[in-house]
């Protein structure tokens, strides 16, 4: 139904490309009266023409019409291209809004941009809610995972609407107030970083199965379908089985075999790694996944490296069943490490910016709607429920046990990959992280000594408090700094 005269909308969406269009339809299907706007009228018109019967829409040709059609306090969802387009829309909007109104940026903004925008809008008495939305266009229409930041006050108005349109798992909405300020976009960024790691790990498992078993894509599809019935049950494993089973209609070959092996990225993985470096959090799984995409797209380097020797024996796994079980265990353990690192980054960001993020709640709202939805997120919620301050997810009793149970398999798989020249950066680095974080003593002691030697950077001692320097170029006497 299209309302033109007098009826005010409860929420508005500006930016009606795939995401905004589907979010607007989702809101309308849930009974909300939705104002519509897009820079160019065609998208608004086609939404109304094609889906006007799904609920109550109030289309606006201009931003002024759009704003005027909203109930007060007004709630406007901005769903345009992240970056300059978002700033352009916000600049236009703020001139038309009044104190108490809420501007929701549901695009994939970089969290420092969200912090900047929130500061600027709160100075005008407006609420600015940077909101992560995951699940792609299908999720936006049928129930995404939603990660809103901003003030608790704005969540009182916005929360019920967002919870209503979000995915539900066991009747629980996949949406909660993440925290103030840019917390929502920060968590969405880390979510995407974890997604990078998860996808890379799955790709490495596929490569190992392919090379170790000499199996074709269809056989590996069956293995992934089987894995999707256990601990690894997740959207990404499910679609992997689906993709691997797909035949290219043009050539009749396995679809995966005709896709160019150069992975692209939109930048959220890179942002996650950059933020992790700033926070000093070792997100090795996410970093390796991001770099692996970079390597795949390094065309001149790959051309130059293509002739380099491998010096490896041909690989033929003797016990296929045992090997598949090993790869499954290695995948699960590496995945737990990647998530553990991501949750550590959320804790570090939350501490740095004073967001008070409940990590268990983040795992809960990722159980449905989003790309990394997975059965084992329930276990993560339980781990943080038992200990909200848990410093290391893999040290939680449940995860320590399952990772420990798979440890021998994990080592066999990484060793085999190295022996046979199969690149497994995420599997290998996750195992190295595990061994590093559990080690009673690290060679970092030597690094500290070297730093003191060449740069007088000082060191601390195991046996005494204080900061020390050794006079390396002189008499080598130690003095307290
Ligand atoms: P796009 O990211 O492709 O953006 C297209 C929209 O931005 C159109 O409505 C376009 O208006 C508008 N726009 C642009 Br471009 N420049 C503008 C400007 N200067 N002023 C006003 N409007 C402008 O759309 P999308 O794929 O639907 O994604 C929307 C947001 O959601 C993005 O931030 C994206 O990162 C995020 N997101 C996307 C997904 C996904 O799966 N696609 C998932 C999660 C989040 P026009 O029609 O007049 O050109």
Residue with tokens 């033929």: 316
Residues with CB under 6 A from ligand 1: 15-20, 38-40, 43, 79-82, 85, 88-89, 107-108, 133, 136-137
3-state secondary structure the chain: CECCCCCCECEEEECCCHHHHHHHHHHHHCCCEEEEECCCHHHHHHHHHHHHHHCEEEECCCHHHHHHCECCCCEEEECCCCCHHHHHHHHHHHCCCCCCCEEEECCCCCHHHHHHHHHHHHCCCCEEEEEEEECHHHHHHHCCEEEECCCHHHHHHHHHHHHHHCCEECCEECECCCCCCCHHHHHHHHHHHHHHHHHHHHHHHHHHHHHHHCCCHHHHHHHHHHHCCCCCCEHHHHHHHHHHHCECCCCCCEHHHHCCCCCCCCCHHHHHHHHHHHHCCCCHHHHHHHHHHHHHCCHHHHHHHCCCCCCCCCCCCCCHHHHHHHHHHHHHHHHHHHHHHHHHHHHHHHHHHCCCCCHHHHHHHCCCCCCCCECCHHHHHHHHHHCCCCCCHHHCHHHHHHHHHCHHHHHHHHHHHHHCCCCCHHHHHHHHHHHHHHCCCCCHHHHHHHHHHHHCCCECCCCCCCCEEECCCCCCCEEEC
Please give the number of the atom of ligand 1 that sits closest to the Cα of 82: 33
Q: Are 267 and 233 in contact (CB under 8 A)?
A: no
Cα(134) to centroid of ligand 1, in Å? 14
For residue 17, how far is its CA from the centre of ligand 1 (angstroms)? 6
pTM: 0.96
CA-closest residue to ligand 1 atom 16: 85
- Phi/psi of residue 61, nearest 5 degrees: -75, -40
> Contact 67/14 with Cβ under 8 angstroms?
no
Quote the radius of gyration of the chain (alpha carbons, Å): 25
In this structure, the residue with its CA closest to atom 31 of ligand 1 is 107
| Residues near 84 by beta carbon (within 8 Å), at least 6 away in sequence | none
Q: Whose CA is nearest to atom 6 of ligand 1?
A: 80
Ligand 1: which atom is nearest the Cα of residue 134?
Answer: 44
Residue closest by Cα to atom 27 of ligand 1: 19
| CA–CA separation, 22 and 18 (whole Å) | 6
Tokens of 15: 């930016």
Q: Which atom of ligand 1 is nearest to the CA of 16?
A: 9
CA of 272 to the centre of ligand 1 (A): 21
Site to probe by mutation for ligand 1, drawn from 46, 77, 81 as the one with most ligand atoms within 8 Å of Cβ, is 81
Residue ID of nearest Cα to ligand 1 atom 3: 81
- The residues assigned a catalytic role are 188, 195
- Nearest-angstrom CA–CA distance, 22 and 29: 10
Ligand 1 pocket mutation, candidates 13, 14, 15, 94, criterion most atoms within 8 A of CB: 15
pLDDT in tens, the chain (481 residues): 666 557 899 999 999 999 999 999 999 999 999 999 999 999 999 999 999 999 999 999 999 999 999 999 999 999 999 999 999 999 999 999 999 999 999 999 999 999 999 999 999 999 999 999 999 999 999 999 999 999 999 999 999 999 999 999 999 999 999 999 999 999 999 999 999 999 999 999 999 999 999 999 999 999 999 999 999 999 999 999 999 999 999 999 999 999 999 999 989 999 999 999 999 999 999 999 999 999 999 999 999 999 999 999 889 899 999 999 999 999 999 999 999 999 999 999 999 999 999 999 999 999 999 999 998 999 999 999 999 999 999 999 999 999 999 999 999 999 999 999 999 999 999 999 999 999 999 999 999 999 999 999 999 999 999 999 999 999 999 999 8
The rounded Å distance from CA 110 to ligand 1 centre is 14
Distance from residue 105's CA to the centre of ligand 1 (Å): 11
């Amino acid at each position: 139904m299209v309302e033109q005269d007098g009826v005010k909308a409860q929420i508005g969406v500006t930016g009606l490309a795939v995401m905004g269009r589907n979010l607007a339809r989702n809101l309308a299907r849930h009974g909300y009266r939705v104002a519509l706007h897009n820079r160019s009228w065609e998208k608004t018109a086609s939404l109304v023409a094609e889906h006007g019967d799904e609920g109550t829409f109030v289309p606006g040709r201009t931003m002024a019409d759009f704003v005027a059609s909203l109930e007060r306090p007004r709630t406007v969802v901005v769903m345009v291209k992240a970056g300059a387009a978002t700033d352009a829309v916000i600049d236009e909007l703020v001139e038309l809004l009044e104190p108490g109104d809420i501007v929701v940026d549901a695009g994939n903004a970089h969290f420092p941009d969200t912090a900047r925008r929130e500061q600027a809008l709160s100075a005008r008495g407006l609420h600015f809610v940077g909101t992560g939305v995951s699940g792609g266009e299908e999720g936006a229409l049928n129930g995404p995972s939603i990660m809103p930041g901003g003030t608790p006050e704005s969540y009182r108005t916005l929360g019920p609407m967002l919870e209503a349109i979000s995915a539900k798992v066991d009747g629980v909405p996949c949406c909660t107030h993440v925290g103030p300020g840019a917390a929502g976009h920060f968590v969405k960024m880390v979510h995407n970083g974890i997604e990078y790691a998860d996808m890379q790990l799955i790709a490495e498992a596929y490569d190992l199965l392919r090379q170790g078993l000499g199996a074709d894509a269809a056989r590996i599809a069956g293995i992934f379908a089987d894995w999707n019935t256990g601990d690894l049950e997740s959207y990404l494993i499910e679609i992997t089985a689906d993709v691997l089973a797909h035949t290219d209609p043009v050539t009749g070959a396995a679809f995966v075999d005709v896709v160019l092996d150069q992975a692209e990225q939109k930048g959220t993985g890179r942002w996650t790694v950059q933020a992790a470096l700033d926070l000093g959090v070792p997100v090795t799984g996410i970093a390796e996944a991001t770099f692996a995409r970079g390597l795949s797209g390094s065309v001149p380097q790959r051309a130059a490296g293509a002739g380099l020797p491998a010096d490896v024996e041909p690989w033929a796994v003797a016990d296929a069943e045992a090997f598949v079980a090993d790869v499954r265990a290695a995948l699960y353990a590496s995945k737990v490490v990647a998530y553990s690192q991501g949750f550590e980054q959320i804790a570090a960001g939350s501490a740095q910016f004073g967001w008070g993020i409940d990590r268990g709640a983040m795992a809960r709202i990722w159980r449905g709607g989003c790309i990394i939805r997975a059965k084992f997120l329930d276990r993560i919620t339980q781990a943080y429920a038992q200990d909200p301050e848990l410093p290391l997810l893999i040290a939680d009793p449940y995860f320590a046990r399952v990772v420990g149970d798979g440890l021998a398999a994990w080592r066999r798989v990484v060793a085999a990959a190295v022996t046979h020249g199969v690149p497994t950066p995420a599997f290998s680095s996750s195992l190295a992280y595990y061994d590093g974080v559990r080690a009673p003593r690290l060679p970092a002691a030597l690094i500290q000594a070297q730093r003191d030697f060449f740069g007088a950077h000082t060191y601390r001692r195991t046996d005494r408090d204080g900061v020390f320097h050794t006079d390396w170029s002189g008499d080598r006497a130690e003095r307290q700094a």
